[in-house]
Structure 1
Amino acid sequence: MKRYRVMAWVVGVGLLVLVLVAMPLKYFAADPLLVAIVGPIHGFLYMGYLALTADLGVKSRWPVVRLLLVALAGTIPFVSFIAERKVTAPLRDAAPVTPG
């Protein structure tokens, strides 16, 4: 679960940088360099997010629709943060507490 949480945040931040910084620079300042750098990095990280989402979904026995919705959360700004909270809250509550 921790790997999924970290990846959800990384993909979310990467998408925000792409949408809120790189894209405006490309279209308003005619500087496509940041999009050329951040875009492929976000795409690569999103593939990792998909793999970790699938892993967590299978282990948690999610319905296919839920798995697809959580996977799509990495494509909409801010939604990956919301999805991460909604997905991990019940899992954290159900996890056994280990001493120490």
Structure 2
Amino acid sequence: MKRKELSSIEREALLMALLSQLLREEISSGQVLRQLRRDVLGMSQTQYAELVGISRRTLSDLEADKASPTLALLNQVFHPLGLQTGLVPRNRHLRERLLSVEAPSA
């Protein structure tokens, strides 16, 4: 069965929902990577690993949260998804406040 391709609005909504869950520690970065790889790009682990220049085993370990990746590796695997690693407060309350702040209008 062929996967329905997401519209740009649906992709952005999925990305925002996943990032919000990640910041709330409801899901892991590996889970985010797996869902975006599959649902946004529609790629297998082998295809995505080739795209980002890593082994399929490394990608599998990242998605299963079995790896201790460097920041460079995280940036490498999240780059095709339009993401990069960054700093967020360790304190859960501060992260929640960060999430509740509205972005300024352009």
Settle same-fold status: TM greater than 0.5: no
Report which structure shows greater RCO (CA 8 Å, sep ≥6).
1
Larger helix proportion, structure 1 or 2?
A: 1
**TM-score for both structures, normalised by structure 1:** 0.30
Structure showing greater radius of gyration is 1
